[in-house]
Structure 1
């Protein structure tokens, strides 16, 4: 495996992982929006 092929594979893997993470984030955000009170409390605790 040449260095060029390795770099190309790394970029492809990063793009795929990014797409999967975005898809999971969208799925996770849907149930969270149903309970905004709990989310706001968690965010305030993290900021402090």
Structure 2
């Protein structure tokens, strides 16, 4: 897991054992996360 903090707040990224990005959480990312998950499922 990695976290990055800027003026907007803290964003957290998590990866699974196969080094695949599995989660993004942070301020204002709800729509972005949903789009990312949808695109990930289509590939």
Structure with larger Rg: 1
The structure with the greater share of residues assigned to strand is 2
Please give the range of the TM-score, normalised by the shorter of the 2 chains.
0.3 to 0.5
TM-score normalised according to structure 1 size: 0.33
| TM-score (norm: length of structure 2) | 0.36
Identify, as 1 or 2, the structure richer in helix. Answer: 1
Larger RCO, structures 1/2 (Cα 8 Å, 6+ apart): 2
